[in-house]
């Protein structure tokens, strides 16, 4: 997919938290780590958007938790919908929000480009198509702070 990034909107399940995101790429990724699976109930399918390209409404309803020494997760305090994952440690992913695909008003038109922690994926499902797949060991080798996940 070679289309330029676009602007998309979304909201949590109850509508207390809304957002408009600019510079939204046409690509998504999936994380199968245990923490993401427990947070979402499945893999985290996410869109990485520059943090400064997202405008929020209802920020008073957003709760965050430092889920690892290097990242936080946020959700709506009213309905519990996950609203983003954000690196808090300085690295190549700093300055982006990983927004769950399911909270976009229109989750269509994306292409999955990679999956991480593929060796932690439950054997009961698989995504169609070819993409880059990284194991936990691949991720730990690339990002040394991940060895606690």
Q: Where are the domains of the chain?
A: 6-148
The pTM assigned to this predicted structure is 0.89
User: What CATH number was assigned to the domain covering residues 6-148?
Assistant: 2.170.150.70
pLDDT confidence of residue 69: 84
Closest CA to 101 of 75, 82, 124: 82
Confidence of residue 146 (pLDDT cuts 50, 70, 90): low
Confidence of residue 94 (pLDDT cuts 50, 70, 90): confident
pLDDT per residue over 96-139, tens digit each? Answer: 999 999 999 999 999 999 999 999 999 998 999 999 999 999 88
- Residue 25 buriedness (CB in 10 A; 0-12 / 13-18 / 19+): middle
CA–CA dist 51, 21 (Å, integer): 9
pLDDT per residue over 9-61, tens digit each? Answer: 999 999 999 999 999 999 999 999 999 999 999 999 999 999 999 999 999 99
Q: Is 60 exceeded by the pLDDT of residue 148?
A: no
Confidence of residue 89 (pLDDT cuts 50, 70, 90): confident
Chain position carrying tokens 């709506």: 76
Whether residue 90 contacts residue 48, with contact meaning beta carbons closer than 8 Å, is answered with no
pLDDT confidence of residue 31: 95
**Cα–Cα distance list, 24 to 13, 39, 68, 97, 125 (Å):** 21, 23, 26, 11, 27
């Amino acid at each position: 997919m070679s289309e330029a990034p676009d602007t998309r909107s979304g909201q949590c399940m109850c509508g207390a938290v809304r957002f408009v995101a600019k510079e939204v790429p046409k690509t998504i990724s999936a994380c199968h780590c245990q923490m993401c699976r427990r947070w979402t109930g499945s893999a985290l399918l996410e869109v990485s958007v520059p943090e400064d390209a997202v405008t929020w409404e209802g920020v008073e309803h957003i709760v965050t938790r430092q889920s690892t020494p290097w990242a936080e997760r946020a959700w709506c305090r009213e309905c519990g919908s996950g609203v983003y994952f954000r690196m808090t440690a300085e690295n190549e992913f700093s300055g982006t929000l990983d927004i769950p695909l399911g909270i976009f008003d229109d989750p269509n038109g994306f292409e999955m480009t990679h999956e991480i922690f593929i060796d932690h994926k439950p054997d009961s499902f698989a995504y169609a198509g070819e993409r880059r797949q990284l194991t936990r060991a691949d991720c730990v080798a690339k990002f040394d702070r991940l060895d606690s996940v």
